[in-house]
Amino acid sequence: MRWARILGQRFRSLFQRSTVDRELEQELEIHLAQLTREYRESGMPEAEARLAARRAFGGEALTREECREKRGTGWMEDAGKDLNYAARMMAKSPAFTLTAVLSLALGVGANTAIFSFMKKVIFELLPVREAEQIVKVSRKNMLMADMNAFNYPLFRDFQNAKDLPFDGFIASTSFGRSTLLTESGAEPVQGDFVSGNFFEVLGVRPALGRLFTSDDDVKPDGHPVVVLSYNFWQRRFGGDAAILNRVIRINNFPFTVIGVSAQDFDGMDPGSSPDYRVTFSMEPSLAGGPTGQSSLPQRGSWWISVYGRLKRGVSYERAGDMLQPLLMRSFELAGQGKPMTDFRRKVLATERMFVEQAAQGGGGFRQRYERAIWVLMGMVGAVLLLACVNVAHLLLARASAREHEFSVRRSLGAGRGRLVRQLLTESMLLAVGGGAVGLLVAKGFSRMLLGLLVSDRAHSTLNASLDGAVLTFNFAIAVVAGLAFGMIPVLRASAGKQMDSLRGTRAGSARRMIGRKLMVSVQIALSLVLLAGAGLFLRTLSSLKGIDPGFRTSGIIQMSLNPAGYTTERTTAFYREIVERIRALPGVQGVVASRQRVVSNSSWGSGIRVAGFTTREGDRGPNRDAIGPGYFSVLGLPLVAGREFTAQDTATAAKVAIVNESFARFYFGGESALGKLIGPGGKEDPDITIVGVVKDSKYRSLREDVTRFWYVPVEQVPTFRGGTLILRTSGNQAQVINGVRATVAAADRNIALFDIKTVESQINENFSMERLLAMLSAMFGGVAALLAGTGLFGVLAYSVTQRTREIGIRMALGARPAQAAWTILREVGWFTALGLAAGLGLALACGQFVGKMLFGVKPNDSATLVAACIGIAVVALAAGLVPARRAAGVEASVALRTE
Amino acid sequence: MGKPSELIQGTVDLLILKTIAKQPMHGWGIAKRIEALSDEVLSVGQGSLYPALHRLEQQGWIAAEWKDSDLGRNAKFYGLTREGRKQLEKELTSWRRLSGAVQLVIERG
């Protein structure tokens, strides 16, 4: 209770100061009046009594002052005065204030923007109950280090096993592109399969209606209910609560909307959110179709991600060990009755279960961006440091100008602490100003980052909002920065001898300049690191852009579609029909259907059997695609031998394949591949005849090495449903796309087109991170060089002013102007060289960290480093030129007269 | 009658706390009461009285209130808070120990 009373008192003294002062006055006045009365009553005349009372009373002003002091709020009042004074000082020199606040705002804002991403992508816990218990369940073997992929029966085994140290297992998997049917047509949407207990185990609450329970995930195809994500509910249905209990059609299958998941819950991969979730029970109808196979009962399909809630106090090692027997048993059940190669047995022996913490989620989004975000954080950290050094330069220059002011104040009795407080107040005011403007910078900057980084805007839940933690971070670094650069002039001011300045001598200033020049060296070092980074990332981007994909990219558009639920016959007829009609559209030079998209990071791995060839142990095998007639001429990929697939390569015709050069060379060496027999892995007798060899090309991404590849006709793949249309166009692409939409809708209005993109924009998208890094590092590198240049210029200009007298004397003694200029340039040389040396070391050290993100250039690439050094040297020279000329122009007589 | 002795620094707090222990008093009253109780030996001048009162108030030992007074006008009355009462006990104990010790030295010396 006492502290409350004390706090109340302080509050009163601070904010009701005039009342408190008035009360004190009254109190003292009463005392004086009583004293006077006493004297009067003892018989003194009125005037005399008053005088006597005054005498006895003593110094009233002193008492009043002492009482005020006892209030213990003096320092706050001082702070108020300091603040007032600091604000006035800043208003008086707007150029200084603006420069300082803006450079600080730039540094702080950039850091805040990156931090807000970092927080969302790296640090933030999943918005679920006791997130720290959530673990990712994974397996590894001698071939693969980390696989979060399991078969569905094994997941059920986990759930049903007794005595496992888990409070539940959950599973989810994306089933990607699906079609939402509405009155207006078919729309592409993205969905996830989840286990019925998904929301229960995580402790996620509904924003509307209810979420799944285990009862919604029992009978195959028995639970046509769907939970929408908040993002999708808002985006597609405008947050209309009437959506509840309505029936929506997904892949032409009716689902009842039972609820909407919580707003902040994206899923296990924060940053992007699927549109809806259904339980695994609905997989047969949604993904399988009438002839397609359901993956649910298959122990050979490793397609779902498993997470668990680990009981408290259980180590990850123990948890993994306890899951191990279930994994081994699943392999046994899967392999029953099938022969097993020695190699397979060897791989199986190294299969291990392990769990790892997944409190922040465990998705690819984070893996993809984590390193880039750290690199960006490093860059903006360096920029902030540079900005701080620049502000310190400014403050130092000002401190020199204010030396006289401080000396006067000190000789008038201002304590050292009082002056320090004054200086710190000024720095803090700058810091807070910089922080405030920095918020605006952060806002704009994170918008820009979002635009560059996120290609799938619709499903992204990243936003440029600034929450409490980000605000705190922003002002915390602003204040730390303020303290850091604020301390420098403080140390100087408190060390300075007042008399020197009052006398007007400039002794000691030469020594002090060393600190400032070292600061310039630091700036040069940091700028070099940023410039070198910019060079590396720019070269990476240009090497990536220079990659020859092997086919002609211009004018090619890809789009995906999924006629789920079609029979094989209907699928064949459908594709034949739309390809025929699209080919007739104006602006279309060629069109073909295929299973895969090119340069989209997706592939269809396959085992292979080649007649007369024994595959080496552990060989990953080639990749494969199913393609329509004329595929290679549409892509502009030349055939080396044989023929393309034609309309005659139907389901009933002889089985044929086309292979690429790498494939032919690998399996047949010098022999011709034509006429050789191959087949998918597992089958006994290869029965597919190679009819063509095509030139090598990039397939999944431009970064990859060319892989062995084989192609089969789409019509000879009975499971072919969802696929890609590849068009070569000339002229207006928008018009062509509209034509394709209309054509597909005319064939079946329930089929949606997904991801309609030109190959060129697809490639650009694939390089979005590299482009982002190249752009930002170039930008920051430029800013850094500019900051270092201005810093250097300021120091040299000041140095010339300081040394005018010395230069004047030298001139008088016969030195030539060139020699005077040389003195200055030599100085530039020294400190630039020092900065460059330090910067090179730093750049090489940082290079190790970004090595993995580069392409076509080594982190210690000498050309890049030399170019960066030259860049800095040019900036330094430019900054040194004007001061050097000024030094050369010093007139001996004038210089000596001014002293 | 000799001049009243100036007080040792630090005992003022004790005297003030003790004086207002029975009932809240204003500054003038406190000064007068200390003089009266000490047979006019001790005098607390305003120069030490008011700063002491303000310090004790800031420390939360005493609380003030403006009330009608015997002086014919409103005056600021200081009274002990609960914590102030405890503080008074503490200061009394230490004072007794101190004065007892001084006494001993004088008697035995």
Beta strands in A296-453 (DSSP E): 305-310, 352-357
* Closest partner CB to B51 (pick from A1, A58, A70): A70
Query: What phi, psi does A356 have (nearest 5°)?
Result: -140, 155
* Closest partner CB to A70 (pick from B31, B54, B76): B54
SS3 of A21-49: HHHHHHHHHHHHHHHHHHHHHCCCCHHHH
Q: pLDDT band at residue A498, thresholds of 50, 70 and 90?
A: very low
pLDDT the model gives residue A306: 95
Write out pLDDT tens, residues B54-105.
888 888 889 888 888 887 788 889 999 988 899 899 889 988 998 899 899 9
User: Is the CB of B95 inside 8 Å of chain A's CB atoms?
Assistant: no
The two structure tokens encoding residue A742: 């209309």
End-to-end CA distance of chain A: 66
CA atoms within 13 A on the CB side of B16: 32
Q: pLDDT band at residue A492, thresholds of 50, 70 and 90?
A: low
Distance CA A726, CA A730 (A): 13
* Closest partner CB to A30 (pick from B28, B60, B81): B28
SS3 of B7-51: CCCCHHHHHHHHHCCCCCEEHHHHHHHHHHHCCCCECCCHHHHHH
Helix (H) or strand (E) holding A614: none
Residues A349-372, mean pLDDT to the nearest whole number: 84
Pairing of strands A723-729, A753-758: unpaired
Closest CA to A808 of A707, A735, A699, A892: A892
Q: pLDDT band at residue A238, thresholds of 50, 70 and 90?
A: very high
Distance CA A478, CA A431 (A): 5
Residues of A in contact with B70 (CB under 8 A): none
Cross-chain residue pair A5–B63, CB shorter than 8 Å: yes
Mutation choice for B interface testing from A34, A62, A68 by most B CBs within 10 A = A34
The two structure tokens encoding residue A153: 């029966």
Query: Would you say residue A196 has pLDDT above 90?
Result: yes
Cross-chain residue pair A57–B46, CB shorter than 8 Å: yes
Residues of chain A with pLDDT > 90, as a percent, come to 34
Distance between alpha carbon A732 and the CA centroid of its chain, in Å?
35
Query: Would you say residue A501 has pLDDT above 70?
Result: no
Residues of B in contact with A71 (CB under 8 A): 54, 58
Residues of A in contact with B54 (CB under 8 A): 24, 67, 70-71
Write out pLDDT tens, residues A256-284.
999 999 998 989 888 788 999 999 999 88
What is the predicted ipTM?
0.85
Write out pLDDT tens, residues A610-639.
887 877 777 778 889 999 999 999 999 999
Cross-chain residue pair A2–B60, CB shorter than 8 Å: yes
* Closest partner CB to A63 (pick from B51, B60, B74): B51
Residues A35-40, mean pLDDT to the nearest whole number: 87
User: Least CA distance to B81: which residue of chain A?
Assistant: A2
User: Is the CB of B47 inside 8 Å of chain A's CB atoms?
Assistant: yes
Q: pLDDT band at residue B1, thresholds of 50, 70 and 90?
A: very low
Judge contact between A557 and A870, C-beta under 8 A.
no
Output the CA–CA distances (angstroms, integers) from residue A445 to A106, A452, A516, A705, in the order listed.
Answer: 10, 11, 31, 36
- What residue type is assigned to position B6 of the chain? E
Contacts (Cβ under 8 Å, ≥6 apart) of A26: B74, B76
Write out pLDDT tens, residues A116-168.
888 887 888 889 999 999 999 999 988 888 888 899 999 999 999 988 999 99
Query: What phi, psi does A589 have (nearest 5°)?
Result: -90, -25
Residues of chain A with pLDDT > 70, as a percent, come to 94
From A5-19, A100-114, A862-876, the region with the lowest mean pLDDT: A5-19
pLDDT the model gives residue A209: 95
User: Is the CB of B81 inside 8 Å of chain A's CB atoms?
Assistant: yes
Angle between the N-to-C axes of helices A364-401 and A468-495, in degrees from 0 to 180, rounded to the nearest 10: 30
Distance CA A789, CA A247 (A): 65
Q: Where are the alpha helices (DSSP H) in A228-363?
A: 230-237, 283, 316-335, 342-349
pLDDT the model gives residue A72: 64
pLDDT the model gives residue A711: 94
Query: Would you say residue A224 has pLDDT above 90?
Result: yes
Mutation choice for A interface testing from B54, B57, B59, B70 by most A CBs within 10 A = B54
CB-defined contacts A:B, below 8 A: 69
Residues A487-508, mean pLDDT to the nearest whole number: 56
Query: Would you say residue B28 has pLDDT above 60?
Result: yes
More confident: B10 or A242: A242
Output the CA–CA distances (angstroms, integers) from residue B51 to A71, A698, B12, B20, B46, in the order listed.
Answer: 9, 88, 11, 16, 8
From A130-139, A411-420, A678-687, A742-751, the region with the lowest mean pLDDT: A411-420
From A83-92, A430-439, A726-735, the region with the lowest mean pLDDT: A83-92
Other C-beta atoms lying within 10 Å of the C-beta of residue A142: 13
pLDDT the model gives residue A91: 83
Q: pLDDT band at residue B47, thresholds of 50, 70 and 90?
A: confident
List B64's β-bridge partners, or say none.
B78
Query: Would you say residue A301 has pLDDT above 90?
Result: no
Would you state the torsion angle of the CA atoms of residues A631, A632, A635, A637, taken in this order, to the nearest 10 degrees?
Answer: 170
Cross-chain residue pair B58–A24, CB shorter than 8 Å: no
Contacts (Cβ under 8 Å, ≥6 apart) of B108: none
pLDDT the model gives residue B65: 87
Percent helix, strand, coil in chain A, to 5, is 55, 15, 30
Q: pLDDT band at residue A657, thresholds of 50, 70 and 90?
A: very high
Q: Give A52→chain B minimum CA distance, Å.
A: 14
End-to-end CA distance of chain B: 30
Write out pLDDT tens, residues A505-517.
444 445 556 777 7
Distance CA A740, CA A586 (A): 11
Task: Name the DSSP class of B66.
Answer: E
Angle at A887 between CA A886 and CA A893, to 5 degrees: 100
pLDDT the model gives residue B10: 67
pLDDT the model gives residue A653: 92
Residues of A in contact with B75 (CB under 8 A): 27, 30
Write out pLDDT tens, residues A688-718.
999 999 999 988 888 888 889 999 999 998 8
Output the CA–CA distances (angstroms, integers) from residue A78 to A95, A487, A874, in the order listed.
Answer: 27, 19, 48
Q: Which residues of chain A are at the B interface, by a Cβ-Cβ cutoff of 8 Å? A: 1-3, 5-6, 9-10, 13, 23-24, 26-28, 30-31, 33-34, 57-59, 62-63, 66-67, 69-72
